[in-house]
A and B are shown apart, each in its own frame.
Chain A
Amino acid sequence: MLHYIGKRLLHLIPVLLGMTFLVFLIIRAIPGDPAQVILGQQATADAIAALRLKLGLDNPWYVQYFDYLKGIVTGDLGESLRTRQPISSEMWPYLAATFELAFFAMIIAIIVGVNAGIVSAWFQNSWFDYLAMVIALIGVSMPIFWLGLMEQWAFGIQLGWLPTSGREEVRDPVTAITHFYLIDTLWQGRFDQFIVVLKHLLLPGIALATIPTAIIARMTRASMLEVMRSDFVRTARAKGQKMFVVVYKHALKNALIPVLTVVGLQTGMLLGGAILTETIFSWPGIGRYIYEAIGFRDYPVIQSGILIVAFLFVMINLIVDLLYTVIDSRIKYN
């Protein structure tokens, strides 16, 4: 098992290396000069030239690339061109904000999606099944920004139930320790703030959860239907076990493997795919951080940001692969 994990981690190196190289080339291929963007429309040609020199943008690209790699190996992710802050210290709050939102959305997606899929399979071809699948179809196809604005309009403005932007009530800010605000507020025993943070998570969480919820529901349904036809389910039924026990105890465990794959992939997607949600809900997360960096041609931030997200993506996939062995004892990695 350890041997397998070691091998998988070694495989990561060429993947991530190739990715840094690709990202490095692509962002330099887009026109637009960081020095110009940083100095703004008012900039003179001399000032731009001086800043380029200072930022090392005049070096040949391969020199810049190897400088960047050297930094990464020593754990230095570089410095933002725009804010002149070290990225490693700048990035964590954004990353934590996105994690909190993505996991929250994933939990919603798993609870709603898996249960809806199960009930749909259990009562196949019933009104619930049709309705759930139609809703799932809508969920997959609905543009997030539109859903987000609608949520804001309905729950924020019309009903006034939920806050529509940011992570906290700015008039009573959370004191950040880990930057996971749910944890930070509990840690400090501020239950009132905990509730406020939870409320802020709800709307963006639901918006972000729609697509994975729909995908998980459809996947669960399909794989449950397959498992329900298998011999051991029929045996269990024949022994007089209650349907509920058969579904939730015997069938579900076997049906979950393909679902788990989807969950893993979708979690990775959420990390990078939260840009729209983060923009609509003014959520200060990594997606917006990278997106804004692209607008400013902040090369180091784009490179390191994408590197971190990619790293997390492959790590999540590794964890999912390892979870298979827990769920299904027939799967062994040697």
Chain B
Amino acid sequence: MRKGKLYLVSLMMLLIMSLFLAACGADDAETSSSESGNDSSTSTDSSTTDDSSSSTPQVLVFGRGADSVSLDPGIVTDGESFKVTQNLFETLLNFGEQDTTINPGLAKEWEVSEDGLTYTFQLQEGVKFHDGTDFNAEAVIKNINRWKGGKEEDFYYFNSMFKAEGEDIIKDVTAEGDYTVVFTLSRPQAPFLKNLAMSPFGIGSPTAFEAAGDKFGDNPVGTGPFKFTEWKRNDSITIEKFEDYWQDGFPKLDKVIFRSIPDNSARLNELMAGNIDLADGVNPSDGKTVEGDSTLQLIERPSMNIGYLGLTNTRAPFDNKLVRQAVNYAIDKQAIVDAFFEGRAEVAANPMPPSISGYNDAISPYPYDPEKAKSLLAEAGYDGKEIELWAMPVPRPYMPDGAKVAEVIQKNLEDVGIPSKIVTFEWATYLEKAKNGEADAFMLGWTGDNGDADNFIYTLLDKDNIGSNNYAYYTNEEVHSLLIQAQSETDENVRNELYKKAQEIIHDDAPWVPLAHSTPLLAAKAGVNGFLPHPTGSDKLHNVSME
């Protein structure tokens, strides 16, 4: 009997202890998890050994926000899927290590004809797919034909990049010998090479996809530095070193494990506890914590995004240009960047970031000038009716905290006499309603796919894209003709001028308030070397090693 009672009391004490420990924390989880970094060096790392002696395999555990949808890069559209496929597959051309310049990939050289309609690629020789199939011209042709023959809803990116008005831009692909491929286009396409370097166009093994059909995504086979091992859905994806990789000395890691950890704070906790080596999607507010911890390093991803406040141009009062300009003067963009991006962003002037070719740096952001805003509103005859201000419900790299930014904007608008009500919806609903033009003013953003101006300005602000990505319902014929002209202009200088002109008009029309180009953050253990995050969000890990 004594024993039973003792056992009970000790059990209760344990429970009390755990509650007490929990109660010792700070007021809310956000701050407590972010203030604990400075003294977390006591954390023992019992479960992991990552000394890089040659006997222990080098394993990198990469924590991220969500699982992949499929591992067939041709059929997916989400960044989390590409994060993995980028290391299993290779594209004909590669982006630069941390930019979107064009570099050799599976194709070592290429020539473009004078008229911009014929592209001839010389392929790397001696490359093998993970299943032993040879990589050659025939494999490239089979991949292109697979995407071409598929339906739009299956190979979404191929269709959006290489089809226009229902017509194939890639008219024909032929082989000249085993290692030369010739692409014939139906019309010149300025960003053609950049498009080919995008993750969705990773070349797969024809043997594998012909056998697997639509199950190719469960057992992907490419030529990349890593090959697929295992996928535990919603939990982890494991890829391992491909011993026959064609580039000697790569990859340096033996294994990479991608773990899905949905909650940002929980992900950082896992990194601090030593259970993962690299964490994507670090809140700007946690940046200082990571920097203050000697066992961790903070890594900045080069910025290629825009966060903006869209003003639906077809709804009153934003159908009046003067009112839209007034809102641009009313909002204190620098204050927003300082407060919510922790300074890790720059105030935006144009609908695309400065790193993109064709950026107009003669344009500066609308200055913060409430008086100017008031006089414009008076001139416009604004009636003082309350507007709806839509706040983003989810954190995104271009907008870490939609709700708080909305409150600042609300205050700014109130100061110049525009009353507003903040509303928000669950993410899928939000996008649907904004796309239908139901918002007055809404927050949104965009991360570039291929580092081309067309992928920002045409995609987000051309009249062709009303009902898809032109949420602001902005229409301007002059801008439209400039953008269409730029799509097939192959002279880079002429093309840049066209985009600069378009940006001028857009700046004056003020369909949005461009807010910021943010620098997304990652964190890693101090011993992770050679990790270079890519602006597109698809990171190549062949050069990463661990100390």
Given contacts A93-B233, A150-B29, A282 and B263 within 8 Å (CB-CB): yes
Q: How many residues of chain A are within 8 Å of chain B by beta carbon?
A: 82
| A132 part of interface (Cβ distance < 8 Å) | yes
| A43 part of interface (Cβ distance < 8 Å) | yes
- Please tell me if the beta carbons of A284 and B265 are within 8 angstroms of each other in the complex: no
Give Cα A160 to B272, complex, Å.
10
A197 to chain B, nearest CB (A): 12
Proximity string of chain B (186-218) to chain A, C-beta cutoff 8 Å, 1 when within and 0 when not: 000000000000000000000000000010000
Q: Which residues of A contact B25 (CB under 8 A)?
A: 150, 153-154
| A116 part of interface (Cβ distance < 8 Å) | yes
Within 8 A of B (CB), among A31-47: 31-33, 35-47
A282 to chain B, nearest CB (A): 4
Give Cα A103 to B146, complex, Å.
47
Q: Which stretch (B100-108, B151-159, B362-370) binds chain A? A: B151-159
Proximity string of chain A (126-168) to chain B, C-beta cutoff 8 Å, 1 when within and 0 when not: 0010011001001100100111111111111111100111110
- Please tell me if the beta carbons of B269 and A284 are within 8 angstroms of each other in the complex: no
| B270 part of interface (Cβ distance < 8 Å) | yes
Given contacts A39-B153, A43-B77, A150-B21, A169 and B47 within 8 Å (CB-CB): yes
Q: Can you name the residue of chain B whose Cβ is closest to the Cβ of A111?
A: B11
| A221 part of interface (Cβ distance < 8 Å) | no
Within 8 A of A (CB), among B206-242: 214, 230, 232-236, 238
**Interface of chain A, main secondary structure:** helix
- Please tell me if the beta carbons of A164 and B236 are within 8 angstroms of each other in the complex: no
**Interface of chain B, main secondary structure:** mixed
Q: Which residues of A contact B275 (CB under 8 A)?
A: 163-166
A85 to chain B, nearest CB (A): 8
Q: Which stretch (B115-123, B128-136, B425-433) binds chain A? A: B425-433
- Please tell me if the beta carbons of A41 and B469 are within 8 angstroms of each other in the complex: yes
Q: Which residues of B contact A158 (CB under 8 A)?
A: 36, 40, 42-43
| A6 part of interface (Cβ distance < 8 Å) | no
Given contacts A115-B8, A153-B36, A282 and B259 within 8 Å (CB-CB): yes
- Please tell me if the beta carbons of B214 and A84 are within 8 angstroms of each other in the complex: yes
- Please tell me if the beta carbons of A164 and B69 are within 8 angstroms of each other in the complex: no
| B18 part of interface (Cβ distance < 8 Å) | yes
Give Cα A150 to B484, complex, Å.
55
6 nearest CB pairs, A to B: A32-B428, A51-B153, A149-B29, A150-B22, A160-B44, A40-B77
Q: Which residues of B contact A (CB under 8 A)?
A: 1, 4-5, 8-9, 11-12, 15-16, 18-19, 21-25, 28-29, 32-33, 36, 40, 42-48, 59, 61, 66, 69-70, 77-78, 151-153, 156-157, 159-160, 214, 230, 232-236, 238, 257, 259-263, 265-266, 269-270, 272-275, 425-429, 431-433, 435, 446, 449, 459, 465, 467-469
14 contacts between A and B (CB under 8 A): A30-B429, A39-B153, A41-B431, A44-B159, A51-B153, A94-B233, A94-B234, A115-B8, A150-B23, A160-B274, A164-B270, A170-B257, A173-B230, A296-B428
